[in-house]
Structure formats: C-alpha cells, structure tokens
C-alpha cells in the first residue's frame, strides 16, 4: 500500500492545531493511514486533573473505531513545532492493538516498524493463546 508521508504529516499538524493543552503547553497531533485508505487523526486533550489527560493517540484510535475500524498501516506524530514526536510507551501499546502487520512509524531516527518500537509486545494474540481459565486444567 502506497504511503504518502507528506499527507500524513499535514493531517497530524492539522490535528495538533486542535490540541487542548492548557497545562503542559505541549500540543500534539497524530495521524495514521488505515488499511482501507482513509486517514484518522487525533490531538491531546488535557484535564485539570492532570493524570487523566488524553494523548493524541487516544483520540486517533477513538476516531479509528468510530469511523469504521480497520488496521493502521502508517503513523505520524508531531509536536507543536510540527516536528516528529515519538509516541509514549502507553500509546505504542494503543497503536500495537490496531496495527496492520508491519505497520510503519515515522520516528526521530527514520521509518521504523511497530515491532521495532514495541518489541516482544503483549497483544490480542497472547490472550487467545494464553493460559486462560479453561486451559489451566
Ligand atoms: N502526549 C501525546 O499526546 N502523545 C504522546 O505520545 C506523548 C505525549 C501529550 C500528553 C500531554 O498532553 C503532553 O503531550 C505533554 O506530555
């Protein structure tokens, strides 16, 4: 699938402009290409109760589910200066859940796969193949 990184960056920057970040003053925008060709995006939404603030990726996966689901093929995240930003650890897990095989991320050290930024990840497959109640014997 053809990835237009410039288009993803434009979508991430547009999302960043909607950020609600009155506490950190650190707006973030994220955008991703879905396996059906659409683009989903999100911005961070902070809260007076600081710890419950939402990262941009939270909005993005909400947007993904709300607009038809699917798998993420490519991802781009920016800070308030439109520079590439690495997703935080929790958000790598959020992205992993919805990633297409070999999902690519634009990172501060070039394009990487989701497996490279979240090695040996825990995911849906572990629950399927894991030691659930009926496998314990
Ligand atoms: N932030 C994101 O939105 N995504 C990330 O992956 C990194 C951090 C936000 C959370 C908070 O609103 C602000 O950046 C400063 O931490």
Q: Where are the domains of the chain?
A: 5-135
Q: Indicate the DSSP class of residue 49.
A: S
- Is the Cβ–Cβ distance between 73 and 102 less than 8 Å? no
Residue nearest to atom 3 of ligand 1 (CA): 55
Query: For 79-103, what is each residue's pLDDT tens digit?
Result: 999 999 999 999 999 999 999 999 9
Q: How far apart are CA 113 and CA 88, in angstroms?
A: 15
Determine the distance separating the centroid of ligand 1 and the alpha carbon of 28, expressed in angstroms.
6
Task: Quote the pLDDT of residue 133.
Answer: 56
Distance between CA atoms of residues 121 and 125, nearest Å: 10
pLDDT band at 134 (very low <50, low <70, confident <90, very high): low
Torsion of CA 17, 20, 24, 30, to 10 degrees: -50
Ligand 1 atom nearest residue 56's Cα: 3
5-135 CATH fold: Cytidine Deaminase; domain 2 (3.40.140)
The pTM for the full model equals 0.94
pLDDT at 86: 98
Known catalytic residue at 126: no
Q: For residue 131, what pLDDT is reported?
A: 64
Distance 56 CA to ligand 1 centre (A): 7
pLDDT of residue 129: 76
Nearest to 59 by CA among 45, 73, 46: 45
**Confidence category of residue 137, pLDDT binned at 50, 70, 90:** very low
pLDDT at residue 135, rounded to an integer: 56
């Amino acid at each position: 699938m053809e990835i237009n990184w410039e288009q993803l960056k434009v979508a991430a920057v547009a999302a960043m402009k909607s950020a609600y970040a009155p506490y950190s003053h650190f707006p973030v925008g994220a955008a991703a290409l879905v396996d059906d060709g659409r683009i989903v995006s999100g911005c961070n939404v902070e809260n007076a109760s600081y710890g419950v603030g939402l990262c941009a990726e939270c909005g993005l996966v909400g947007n993904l589910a709300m607009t038809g689901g699917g798998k993420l093929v490519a991802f781009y995240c920016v800070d308030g200066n439109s520079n590439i930003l690495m997703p935080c650890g929790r958000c790598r897990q959020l992205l992993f859940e919805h990633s297409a095989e070999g999902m690519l991320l634009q990172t501060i050290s070039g394009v990487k796969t989701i497996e490279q930024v979240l090695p040996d990840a825990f995911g849906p497959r572990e629950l399927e193949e894991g030691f659930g109640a009926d496998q314990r014997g």
